[in-house]
Amino acid sequence: MDNKDTTHSHLLSFLNAIPPVDFCCVYGSTLHSTDPGKSTMVDYILGVSDPLQWHSENLKMNADHYASWMVLLGGAKLITNVADKLGVGVHFNPYVTWNNKMLKYGVVRMHDLIQDILNWESFYLSGRLQKPVNMLVDNLDIETINSVNLRAAVSAALLLLPPKFTEEDLYAKICSLSYMGDVRMLFAEDRNKVKKIVQGQFDLFQSMYKPFLEEYEGKDFLRFSSSKNQLANISQV
């Protein structure tokens, strides 16, 4: 078994420790790590039909994953209400240690996930899904639904780019959409974060957005030319 298969199996194995989910993806450095044993944080997004029921079941299995005050003051009902009324519909359990790995996972209602993908209602998970992710469970075909989100991301990026730009510029602009207005990018976050994400996962961005770029080229919205470093130069027509 090669490193990629080993990593995939390891990521899937965590799902055996929690209640069933309808959707699961992982994102971040895990996607392009060449060392499955490296101690990097693993980030999961979990989609479930009923968060209240799911958290109730998960509290019986993994109460230590949650902040103790939330468990004591209200349990699953409080956890769900805080996510829905004070957050963007996602509850995160961070700094979970499992099988000698550190991970965090966010739990979202499937209805809310789909609405954000289609309508950018909070632009929280839709922005995440504009970047490469590894889908481990996809019972409702979110991958196909997400094509609406990807097409919209390309269109928004093109409106923000000059008439001529590189392929890397395009992916960087798409990647930066979800960080616009994020004050962390002004202070705490690495200001080269977007560039590092794109350069570290360039092939994955290409595979995600190639169908839309080819479609736009076929409709004469875009023109492509090769550069010395094999990256495409793109012109808006």
Shared-domain flag, residues 133 and 182: no
Shared-domain flag, residues 150 and 135: no
Shared-domain flag, residues 6 and 105: yes
Q: Is the pLDDT of residue 25 over 60?
A: yes
CB of 146 closer than 8 Å to CB of 45: no
Contacts of 225 (CB under 8 A, 6+ apart): 232, 233, 235
Instruction: Work out the average pLDDT over 146-175.
Output: 97
Shared-domain flag, residues 110 and 67: yes
CATH of the domain at 189: 1.10.10
CA nearest neighbour of 217 among 149, 170, 147: 170
Q: How confident is the model at residue 39 (pLDDT cuts 50, 70, 90)?
A: low
Q: Which of 85, 115, 140 is the last residue of a domain?
A: 140
Residue 91: CB atoms within 10 Å: 22
Least confident of 79-93, 183-197, 221-235: 183-197
Shared-domain flag, residues 110 and 193: no
CB of 195 closer than 8 Å to CB of 183: no
Shared-domain flag, residues 11 and 120: yes
Q: Which conformational region is residue 233 in: left (phi greater than 0), alpha (psi within -120 to 50 degrees), or beta?
A: beta
pLDDT score recorded for residue 226:
81
Shared-domain flag, residues 167 and 74: no
pLDDT in tens, 80-105: 999 999 989 999 999 999 988 899 99
Q: What are phi and psi of 20, to 5 degrees?
A: -60, 150
Q: How confident is the model at residue 3 (pLDDT cuts 50, 70, 90)?
A: low
Q: Is the pLDDT of residue 1 over 80?
A: no
Q: Which tokens go with 203? A: 């092939």
Per the structure, the complete domain to which residue 47 belongs is given by: 2-140
Shared-domain flag, residues 82 and 190: no
Shared-domain flag, residues 90 and 123: yes
Q: How confident is the model at residue 184 (pLDDT cuts 50, 70, 90)?
A: very low
Shared-domain flag, residues 123 and 165: no
Q: Which tokens go with 157? A: 């990026």
Q: Name the domain count of the chain.
A: 2
pTM comes to 0.90
